Structure 1
Amino acid sequence: MVARIYQPAKTAMQSGTAKTHLWLFEYEPEAAREIDPLMGWTSSGDMNGQIQLRFATKDEAVAYAEKHKIPYQVFEPQPRAARPKAYSDNFRSNRVDGNWTH
C-alpha cells in the first residue's frame, strides 16, 4: 500500500491553474479494475482508491505519511514548457516577433 504525493497538472479543458497549488496524497491501486459482465461498468474492490487528501505543502503531506507509517513516493511537478500569454500581447509596442500591422 504505497502512497503517491504530487501536485496535479493543469487540466486540458481549462486555461486557468485552479487546484494546481495543493499537494495530493493518493494510494496507488493494488489491483487492476474489473469489468462487470452484466452492465459493463468498471469496478474495483480496493477501497483505498477512493481516498484523496489535500495538503498545502509537500512537507505536510510527507509528515502525514511518516506519522502514520505509510510508505510513499514524492513526484515533483514538471515545469511548464511555455509561459502564459495574453491576447493583448499581440498589440504591444515593444513586441519582439517583428512588425505587425493591420
Structure 2
Amino acid sequence: MLTAEGCPKTMLSIRDALEAVEGRWKLLILFALAQSPKRFKQLAKEVPGITDKTLSKELKSLESNKLVQRNVYDTFPPTVQYSITAHGKSLEKVIEELHYWGLAHRREIMGK
C-alpha cells in the first residue's frame, strides 16, 4: 500500500512508469506483442487505427525503454520482428488489471 510518507519518491516512480507507457498506443502494442513476436505489418493489423508512422514512433520509444526488442534477420530483403522483453512482460499484470478496470469503468459510465 502506498503511503503519503514516501510521496515525492512515489510520485517520481509513478511519473517514470507513466512516461514509459504513455499515450494511446503503447499498452495496446505491448498487449499484442505479449501474445507472440510480430513483424511490423502484423502488428499494424492487430492494433486497429494506428498509422505506420505512429507505430514506428511508438516502437522506437518502447525499444528505448527496453520494453520491446527489435530483431533483424539476415535475409533478403531483411526481416524485422518485434518482441516483448522480459522487462516488458513485467507489465502483463498491470495491463490485465487495466483491462478489468476498463470493463468496470465502461459499465459504470455507460450503465452496462
Give the TM-score of the pair, scaled to structure 1: 0.27
User: For the pair shown, which has the larger CA radius of gyration, 1 or 2?
Assistant: 1
Give the TM-score of the pair, scaled to structure 2: 0.25
Q: Which has the higher contact order (CA 8 A, sep 6+)?
A: 1
